[in-house]
Amino acid sequence: MFEYLDMEIDERTGVNRIRLDRAERRNALSGALVAELKEALALAEADARVRVVGIGGRGPDFCAGADLAEVQASVEEGVMASLREAEALGELFTLLRKLSKPVVAIVHGRALAGGCGLATACDLVLAAESARFGYPEVRLGFVPAMVTAILRRNLGEKRAFELMALGDTIDAAEASRLGLVNRVCADAEFEAESAAFLAELAGRSASALALTKKLLYGTEGQSFEAAVATGARVNAVARMTDDCQAGIRRFLDRGKREKGGKREKGGKREKGEGA
């Protein structure tokens, strides 16, 4: 179905694993690969079997960034060709936020430039201990332009500017300390731990995850009062979902059973209880 991606759905867990498959080019983001990623995400959104999406890479690296041969070709075509190429990647980053289902980056090896942007545009990032992250564009006289929007939100202005202005590559532990990575796993356990994490996340309420994601990103830029008001509306919607109503019933039923068990253990019944 795809030339530059592998995609498989575990119907038992609801996890959709997407893997970039240009290992010979360190999974560089060509126009074709970006287009396939957008198509794969659209399919995941429409597929009722899918609860969580994981994005990883084949070969030794997650993603080395933009395909520089294509960048050079677009430069030769002119500024409008460059703009179209950049906008296509920007649409991918935007789509990751708009998707109602959680998207988790599964990062091993190097995640550089646009590849680091792809990882951090996901909702969550899991990294192997040996993974490396960075925005080295400045070393080529280039600018990590679209990822600026992501970095400012993840790190704040000063940390973001330092990473972009120096172009240094950092290890997974430092990326976690800065806030780019959620969890770091030992290399030997990385595949098993990331699979377990994806399955655990997929086990959460799909409606609750979708509303949480929409609320988190939807309140950006709102005043405190407006954000609280938005939260109140989402709270009301969440109460009406099947998942929430079933969860409340389970909680109340469990409380009744526990209360009944304590009374039975104590050997006393209040007037009117039981036969």
The DSSP line for 122-175 is: SSEEEEETT-EEE-GGGGGT---TTHHHHHHHHH-HHHHHHHHHH--EEEHHHH
Q: What is the DSSP letter of 182?
A: S
Q: What is the DSSP letter of 26?
A: T
Cα–Cα distance for residue pair 183/107, rounded to 1 Å: 10
Provide the annotated active-site residues: 137
Nearest residue to 87 via CA among 145, 4, 148: 145
φ, ψ for residue 238, nearest 5 deg: -60, -35
Which residues lie closer than 8 Å to 22 by C-beta, 6 or more apart? 4, 28, 30, 33, 58
